[in-house]
Structure 1
Amino acid sequence: MKVYRFKFEHNLPIPLAEAWDFFSSPLNLSKITPAKMNFIITSDFSADTKMYPGMLISYKVSPVFGIKLNWVTEITHVKEHVYFVDEQRTGPYAMWHHEHHFKEIKGGVQMTDILTYGIPYGIIGRLANTILVEKEIKEVFNFREKEINKLFGVYKER
């Protein structure tokens, strides 16, 4: 299995506690996911649920061609106001490891996503990644950046 890695950075003009509060709530993920993915959290969470190590989050998602898939991720690590990690337990990838890091900067917070993933099916999976998956992942993170800017404003270095 070939492993792929992306790093995305985004600065937010909000306090660290506010950023953590938003991103550590599983229900907010749907607010920053493109509608075309038909992303639905099927876990039963309340509005004040926060992530914790061992938390399982189940979703239905249609990442490609409208095909509905079940996806389960586990929150494996949490250090409040610093980082959390989600890993796929079942879903479309052979491997999915997504780190979410938060760091206070002048005038806001730097958020860094480090995504490491693998596609099943050998050469066919590598071809699918080149043609489709890599592009879709970048589109999702570009969409998230735009939505986060709408929600919190655009960071301006002071």
Structure 2
Amino acid sequence: MFHGTFVYQTLLPADRYDVWQFFDDPVNLEKITKPGGITVRRGDADQKIHIDIRTAGMLLTWNALITERREPDYFIDEAVSPPFPLISWKHYHSLHTLDMFTGVTDYISFESRVPVSFIKPVLQWMFTQRKRELLKIFK
């Protein structure tokens, strides 16, 4: 088992409350995850999130739970059943007002069945794609 952390920061030209409203709806992950191929549904309670990921001809399922939330500052989601190769995943989303901008910091701690050096490039690519889409939305 391998333990890793990943941090990514995005600066958006938007009000923190507008950015919070966007991130507060997990279905918006579909808008910023490119190329497409994910479907997001809320569970019975708003804290449960179910994500279907289509990649390389496979369907992977990701179930997560919002374990902590303080509007408009941060929320934490934790994987209930992450797909292989992940064993655990805890994702802190925090928002900060920076003059006329909102800083978004994603801090992820995870455990994996493969070395961290295989996971981090995938996360870097994923969050770079998300940043590109977020900048289109909050232009």
- TM-score w.r.t. the length of structure 2 is 0.89
Unpaired runs of 5+ in structure 1?
46-50, 154-158
Q: Which residue is equivalent to 1:6?
A: 6
Rounded to whole Å, the distance in 2 between the matches of 1:136 and 1:66 is 18
Q: Which residue is equivalent to 2:67?
A: 76
- Change in Cα spacing, 1:26 to 1:152, as seen in structure 2 (3 Å) is same
Q: Which residue is equivalent to 1:41?
A: 40
Q: Which residue is equivalent to 2:15?
A: 15
How far did residue 44 of structure 1 move? 6.1
- Out of 81, 85, 90, the residue aligned to residue 76 of structure 2 is 85
State the structure with bigger RCO (CA 8 A, min sep 6), 1 or 2: 2
Superimposed CA distance per residue, residues 43-84 of structure 1 (whole angstroms, 9 cap, x where no aligned partner): 469xxxxx96xx110111135x33211110000000001000
Rounded to whole Å, the distance in 1 between the matches of 2:67 and 2:57 is 29
- Out of 88, 105, 114, the residue aligned to residue 112 of structure 1 is 105
Letter in 2 for 1:135: P
Higher strand share: 2
- Change in Cα spacing, 1:10 to 1:40, as seen in structure 2 (3 Å) is same
SS of the equivalent of 2:127 reads helix
Aligned residues: percent identity?
26
**Structure 1 runs of 4+ with >2 Å offset:** 42-45
Structure (1 or 2) with the larger CA radius of gyration: 1
Q: Which residue is equivalent to 1:57?
A: 49
Superimposed CA distance per residue, residues 62-112 of structure 1 (whole angstroms, 9 cap, x where no aligned partner): 35x332111100000000010000000012120100000001111121110
SS of the equivalent of 1:35 reads coil
Superimposed CA distance per residue, residues 16-41 of structure 1 (whole angstroms, 9 cap, x where no aligned partner): 110100011111111111225x1111
Rounded to whole Å, the distance in 2 between the matches of 1:62 and 1:119 is 20
Q: Which residue is equivalent to 1:148?
A: 134
